[in-house]
Chain A
Amino acid sequence: GENVEQHPSTLSVQEGDSAVIKCTYSDSASNYFPWYKQELGKGPQLIIDIRSNVGEKKDQRIAVTLNKTAKHFSLHITETQPEDSAVYFCAASGDSGNTGKLIFGQGTTLQVKP
Chain B
Amino acid sequence: EAQVTQNPRYLITVTGKKLTVTCSQNMNHEYMSWYRQDPGLGLRQIYYSMNVEVTDKGDVPEGYKVSRKEKRNFPLILESPSPNQTSLYFCASSLTGRNSPLHFGNGTRLTVT
Among residues 76 to 108 in chain A, which have CB atoms less than 8 Å away from a CB atom of chain B? 89, 93, 97-102, 104-107
Cross-chain contact B58 with A41 (CB below 8 angstroms): no
Q: How far is the CB of B47 from chain A (nearest CB, A)?
A: 11
Interface presence of A44 (CB below 8 A):
yes
- Bound: A106/B44 CA distance, A: 10
Tally of A interface residues using CB under 8 Å: 26
Q: How far is the CB of B9 from chain A (nearest CB, A)?
A: 9
Q: Which residues of chain B have C-beta atoms less than 8 A from A101's C-beta? A: 45, 48, 58
Among B63-71, B78-86, B94-102, which stretch is in contact with chain A?
A: B94-102
Cross-chain contact A32 with B99 (CB below 8 angstroms): yes
Q: How far is the CB of B113 from chain A (nearest CB, A)?
A: 22
The size class of the interface chain B forms with chain A is 20 to 34
- Bound: A99/B32 CA distance, A: 11
Q: How far is the CB of A45 from chain B (nearest CB, A)?
A: 7
Q: How far is the CB of B66 from chain A (nearest CB, A)?
A: 14
Among residues 82 to 113 in chain B, which have CB atoms less than 8 Å away from a CB atom of chain A? 90, 92, 94, 96-107
Cross-chain contact A42 with B107 (CB below 8 angstroms): yes
Cross-chain contact B104 with A100 (CB below 8 angstroms): no
Q: How far is the CB of A4 from chain B (nearest CB, A)?
A: 8
Cross-chain contact B42 with A46 (CB below 8 angstroms): no
Given A41-B106, A89-B43, A105-B42, is A100 in contact with B97 using a C-beta cutoff of 8 Å? yes
- Bound: A109/B106 CA distance, A: 18
Interface presence of B50 (CB below 8 A):
yes
Q: In this complex, what residue of A is CB-closest to B58? A: A101
Cross-chain contact B45 with A102 (CB below 8 angstroms): yes
Given A100-B48, A100-B50, is A34 in contact with B97 using a C-beta cutoff of 8 Å? no
Q: In this complex, what residue of B is CB-closest to A30? A: B99
Interface residues of B (CB under 8 A from A): 4, 31, 33, 35, 40-45, 48, 50, 56, 58, 90, 92, 94, 96-107
Known: A43-B92, A99-B97. 14 other contacts (CB 8 A): A31-B99, A41-B107, A43-B4, A43-B105, A44-B43, A49-B101, A89-B42, A89-B43, A99-B50, A100-B33, A100-B50, A101-B58, A104-B42, A104-B43
